[in-house]
Structure 1
């Protein structure tokens, strides 16, 4: 079990390590927002295994993004996961009115979070077992989700 508290990070490896910790410590929900998920290791075998474990236990995964192109081109494992667990994964794409949003985060069970302050940089913070650290981003995610449209489907026809 990871210790409660907030930790800053400044590099890609730290970001990925914190992201994996959020995935491993989440039970019911994972909510992620990033412009294109290009720095999220969604194609890595260990991340796929962690997400499968999470989804098998009944968890729900929601991704919101500006563009799904990177995932479609470079993350075949994630697309297979989406097909296998389409009943537990939802993906939405934002409209142009939200493309000015440049932060990036993953929230687990609304108590764990890894957040980059700007999607062009690896500087950010991670917090575990700290609901108040995830509260603003969780509210932000709900707003983004409400303003986004379904996208990135399990099949090319969206079925």
Structure 2
């Protein structure tokens, strides 16, 4: 198990990039709005395209898609190009109070911010036993969602 902590935007981005680059099969992400994730950056776009090109599946859950639609045109193109491998969902009001933020890769890696307004968090790599509770939580969040961002909805 490789566990690292971070407390800055750069630290979060570095750990997220490590998780994206190490994942091959699934990426499960939750954040209230993905505003600080830089999913539309050139670097993350390249990592996600490589992941999806090899058949990976990406699932995102958010309370709102507004920031992705407004600030991440590369991500919207990615959604258009790989919509068959990407599913974006929106939470129901019943769980709209959740404020943490995390990414689970291949059920072996997790990058987690303790609160979405702050960059303090941890990353754990190569530890399925450490990601089990996060994966179970993600699945319970997923069960409380509805369809969200889609290529056709954004006009792409």
Residue equivalent to 2:90: 93
Q: Give 1:157 deviation, angstroms.
A: 7.0
Alpha-carbon distance in structure 1 between the residues aligned to 2:97 and 2:151 = 27
Alpha-carbon distance in structure 2 between the residues aligned to 1:74 and 1:105 = 20
Alpha-carbon distance in structure 1 between the residues aligned to 2:128 and 2:17 = 18
Instruction: Note the 1:9-158 alignment, pairs <5 A.
Output: 9-156=6-153
Would you say the 8 A contact 2:69–2:154 is kept in 1? no
- Structure 1's consecutive aligned runs of 4 or more residues displaced over 2 angstroms after TM superposition are 156-159
Render the CA deviation track for 1:10-30: whole Å, top value 9, x for unaligned.
Answer: 111000000000000000000
Between the two proteins, the alignment pairs up a number of residues equal to: 156
TM-score by length of 1: 0.95
Q: Give 1:38 deviation, angstroms.
A: 0.4
Q: Give 1:41 deviation, angstroms.
A: 1.1
SS in 1 for 2:79: helix
Structure 2 residue ranges without an equivalent (≥5): none
SS in 1 for 2:141: helix
Alpha-carbon distance in structure 2 between the residues aligned to 1:28 and 1:157 = 26
Q: Give 1:96 deviation, angstroms.
A: 1.0
Structure 1 residue ranges without an equivalent (≥5): none
